[in-house]
Amino acid sequence: MKISVITVTYNSAATLLDTVASVLGQTHPAVEYLIVDGGSTDHTLAKLAPYREQIDCLISEPDEGMYDAMNKGIAHATGDVVAILNSDDVYADSEVLSKIAALFQDAALDCVYGNLHYVASNDLSRVVRDWQAGGYAPGLFRRGWHPPHPSFFVRRGVYERLGGFRPDLRIAADYEFMLRALERAGCPVAYLDTVLVKMRTGGASNRSLGNIWKANRECFRAWRMNGYGRCTAALATAAKPLGKLKQLRRG
């Protein structure tokens, strides 16, 4: 089973090599690695030069934001399963993709997800938030639940069937896609109760109070895009921050 891993990057020279090493160090024998760069002006491309032969697809050109770049990666992916690992994230260990591939041997499954550690930006070993996702049941999104997107693996056919990310959502298109796939489309999903990804703090959705506000507004829009009423959208969006407080306590 081939797993396509897509890394989206823009001026990420400071962190990208950690991401690359965690992908290239996977023990799973069939990994396709795609990097989509938004036309970086720092040393990102120079740092990738020593790994060029191990990167199956490298695109570097201006884009319309990170979700547009993710869609480019999906369009070029040829694997059975697609993973997205951004340029400040790393896989928790070298066996992550092997564990994922084992679960996808069940042909009925469309999606697999696991847990995530938010870590300090300068210390990948220091856990700040412990995101224990827990098992999925229909309706959980209404209570503020959703899986961590970096640990969300999807069969490529799901993107072909449901479409990719909405680039008009600048911060929460990953949330909208998971809502669309799990709640609206009812894609069969499995939960792997282990940490799959370490994610540095300071991502787009939580970089500032302003971005948190924008992300929540986009989550509200995500519900409306999928045909849900304003009351449902408002209550689900309001419930999301409560889960983050629990993660902070565990971290």
Task: Calculate what percentage of the chain has a pLDDT beyond 70.
Answer: 93
pLDDT, residue 240, reads 81
pLDDT band at 247 (very low <50, low <70, confident <90, very high): low
Query: Which of 180-184, 200-204, 221-225, 229-233 is predicted least confidently?
Result: 200-204
pLDDT, residue 202, reads 73
pLDDT, residue 248, reads 59
Q: What is the pLDDT of residues 25-58, one digit of tens each?
A: 999 999 999 999 999 999 999 999 999 999 999 9
pLDDT, residue 245, reads 62
pLDDT band at 249 (very low <50, low <70, confident <90, very high): low
Q: What domains are defined for the chain?
A: 3-250 (3.90.550.10)
Q: What is the pLDDT of residues 192-213, one digit of tens each?
A: 999 999 999 975 545 555 677 8
Task: Calculate what percentage of the chain has a pLDDT beyond 90.
Answer: 88
pLDDT, residue 121, reads 92
- Interval 99-109 mean pLDDT: 98
pLDDT, residue 181, reads 98
Instruction: Tell me the three-class secondary structure of the chain, residue by residue.
Output: CCEEEEEEECCCCCCHHHHHHHHHCCCCCCEEEEEEECCCCCCHHHHHHHHHHHCCEEEECCCCCHHHHHHHHHHHCCCCEEEECCCCEEECCCCHHHHHHHHCCCCCCCEEEEEEEEEECCEEEEEEEEECCCCCCCCHHHHCCCCCHHHEEEEHHHHHHHCCCCCCCCCCHHHHHHHHHHHHCCCCEEEEEEEEEEEECCCHHHCCHHHHHHHHHHHHHHHHHCCCCHHHHHHHHHHHHHHHHHHHHHC
pLDDT, residue 214, reads 87
In this predicted structure, the answer to whether residue 77 has a pLDDT above a threshold of 80 is: yes
pLDDT, residue 89, reads 97
More confident residue, 102 or 205: 102
In this predicted structure, the answer to whether residue 168 has a pLDDT above a threshold of 70 is: yes
In this predicted structure, the answer to whether residue 83 has a pLDDT above a threshold of 70 is: yes
In this predicted structure, the answer to whether residue 139 has a pLDDT above a threshold of 70 is: yes
What is the pLDDT of the chain when averaged over all its residues? 93
pLDDT, residue 208, reads 54
In this predicted structure, the answer to whether residue 251 has a pLDDT above a threshold of 60 is: no
pLDDT, residue 85, reads 98
